[in-house]
Structure 1
Amino acid sequence: MDFAFLRRLAVMAVILAIQVLLLNNIHLFDCITPLLIGYMIIYTRRGASRIGVMLVGFFVGLLFDMFSNTLGMGAASCTLLAFVQPSLLGIFTPRDAADDFEPGMHTMGIWLYATYLFSSMLVLHAAFYILEAFSVSDWRMALMAIFGGTVLSTAIVFICESITSNQRGILNR
């Protein structure tokens, strides 16, 4: 077994636990709920197999659905994010970047990473909340949930990434 694989599996379990136990209970303005489950898909390296990324996205979403009782909305939205992720990463990274390039604040820079993160979270939240609403009758609430959840999730991931990158910098001194 590869140590990096086990580390990613442990991080995925922690993120799923945080999402299910903590973040699913946050409902700002009765509609804004952050979805942190997309982080494992967003952080996938550049040269990863597209099918592998989509399978990871599907299973992360399926696990989220099982614990959150969301009837496939998590699996569908995470699979869509996994499908779009290589294209988004290609937009925000240089063409000559290595195949094992991992997106992050320390590799992309703050502005590019924040833009990539926001775009990815927007895809995830738009898919999730459009499937949840499944109509245009309450489009204001759906738009508020999409953009509010995107901003909140982006802020949470950005803060966590800055803390972990600062700890990496301290440990490497």
Structure 2
Amino acid sequence: MIINYLHKIGWFIGLVLLQVLILNNVHIAGYATPFLYIYLILKFESDVPRNVLMLWAFFLGLTIDILSDTPGMNAAATVMLAFLRPVFLRLFVPRDTVDSLVPAIRTMGVSSFLKYLIVSVFVHHGMLLTIEFFSFAHIGTLLLRIVASTLLTVTCIMAMEGIRKR
């Protein structure tokens, strides 16, 4: 149990440093920015209570907010992702395997994992970038940024899954 939490804390620190020091400075064509830190929330076991998951998400988002000087935007989007994650898992995982599952390609299959990943990342980025824009005056640009960032983040997470799988 303690080893599991130490492992999660290591991922927490690593993903926060990666996001703040490198990925926040990546802007492909001015639209796509990868938000890889949500990988930690997406990879929690399915039997983790929602309250615990939301606490992890809040502290992860708050840490990113503090280090990126974004007032609560990442915390709000990450907590919403943690709140909706059990629903997304129930949508894309067969009923008999939801009890104790670590979402991954090898446990869910490529198709189910990709659907779960795309929906989760899209919802997170939709919330985050809508808060950042705080206006629907430029809805086209907002939608382009959401879709481009979602595609980039999903690509990065699938690459990480491919590396971790081996």
Q: Same fold (TM over 0.5)?
A: yes
1:150-161 pair list within 5 angstroms: 150-161=150-161
Instruction: Give the letter aligned to residue 39 of structure 1.
Output: Y
CA distance in 2, matches of 1:19, 1:61: 11
2:87 matched to which residue of 1?
Answer: 87
Which whole-Å deviations, capped at 9, do the CAs of 1:11-46 have from their partners, x for residues lacking one? 111111111111100111223211112111111111
Q: Which residue of 1 aligns with 2:99?
A: 99
Q: Look up the equivalent residue of 1:79 and give its one-letter code.
A: V
Aligned residue identity for 1:93 = V
SS of corresponding position for 2:70:
coil
Check the 8 A contact 1:45/1:99 in 2, yes or no. no
Residue 142 in 1 paired to residue 166 in 2? no
2:89–2:98 Cα contact (<8 Å) kept = no
Change (3 A) 1:113 1:36: same
Q: Which residue of 2 aligns with 1:122?
A: 122
Deviant stretches of 4+, over 2 Å = none
The count of residues paired between Structure 1 and Structure 2 equals 166
- Alignment partners' CA distance in 2, 1:62 and 1:98: 29
Q: Which residue of 2 aligns with 1:113?
A: 113
> Which residue of the partner structure matches residue 170 of structure 1?
none
C-alpha displacement at 1:99, in angstroms? Answer: 2.1
Match of 1:71 in 2: 71
Structure 2 Cα separation of the partners of residues 97 and 163 of structure 1: 24
**Higher deviation after alignment, 30-39 or 103-112:** 30-39
Partner amino acid for 1:9? I
RMSD across aligned positions (CA): 1.0
CA distance in 1, matches of 2:79, 2:14: 20
